[in-house]
Amino acid sequence: QPIVHAIDLTVMYESGPALERVSFEIYKGERVAVVGPNGAGKSTLFKVIAGILQPTSGRIEIYGGAPGEHICVAYVPQRSVVDWRFPVTVYDVVMMGRVGRIGLLRRPGRDDHRIVRQALERVGLSDLASRQIAQLSGGQQQRMFLARALAQEAELMLLDEPFTGLDLPSQNELLALLERLQGEGITIMVSLHDLNLAAQQFTRLLLLNRTLIALGTPQDVLNTQT
């Protein structure tokens, strides 16, 4: 059974269609790059998979159920940090991942603190736990959101343009981390513009431009595109 099954997804905004009759299957443990130009519908697709946005027609199944029904799906929007007006630490942000598990009314317990510390360690941010998030570099911010997704115990992670604005060392660090998470059985979908980066670093490519252009291994997709 696929982890993500998109069936004839269409999303209409007032301005027109952002997705048109998009169907595909993604399997557990894949590392998928969703590639397309600005406005191709990548963010819209992620919002539908995460259950934040209802498609106009068609449907999305996550292990045969609604998003969040069987497994936790974490969505990391692009430029997530910019809007944050409150002084919060890296630790606070990662702990927010626990709120979805334990509810707002229960205070974090010993287990929650342990899980947060482990998540920070897995992304290499243990030393920055008490840092204000405004002081993080772009690469550190992306790793912090991955730690939050780990604290949520998400099995499917959707990252919107995580490489945008990162320097090369930070990009490589993030790529290595994604590969490690994939090795632990987490399914990862990343949106990006750069087809070369996608083809080198991901196990499957999904080319999107309002409709599904191609889906397959990098080799298959590059062969059909040239």
Residues that bind ligand ADP (CB under 6 A): 13-15, 18, 36, 38-44, 78, 160
* Cβ at position 35, least distance to ligand ADP in Å: 10
- Per residue in 60-79, is it b (16+ CB within 10 Å) or e — as a string? bbbbeeebeeebbbbbbbee
* Cβ at position 189, least distance to ligand ADP in Å: 13
Nearby residues of 218 by Cβ (< 8 Å), 6 or more positions away: 198, 199, 200, 202, 204, 205
* Cβ at position 108, least distance to ligand ADP in Å: 29
Write the DSSP symbol of residue 108.
Answer: P
Complex with ligand ADP: residue 39 or 183, whichever CB lies closer: 39
Q: How many CA atoms lie within 13 A of 185 on its CB side?
A: 3
Complex with ligand ADP: residue 44 or 140, whichever CB lies closer: 44
Complex with ligand ADP: residue 150 or 192, whichever CB lies closer: 192
* Cβ at position 17, least distance to ligand ADP in Å: 8
DSSP calls for 41-91:
SHHHHHHHHHTSS--SEEEEEETTB-TTTSS-EEEE-TTGGGG--S--BHH
* Cβ at position 159, least distance to ligand ADP in Å: 11
Complex with ligand ADP: residue 8 or 69, whichever CB lies closer: 8
Tell me the backbone φ, ψ of residue 185, rounded to 5 degrees.
Answer: 95, 5
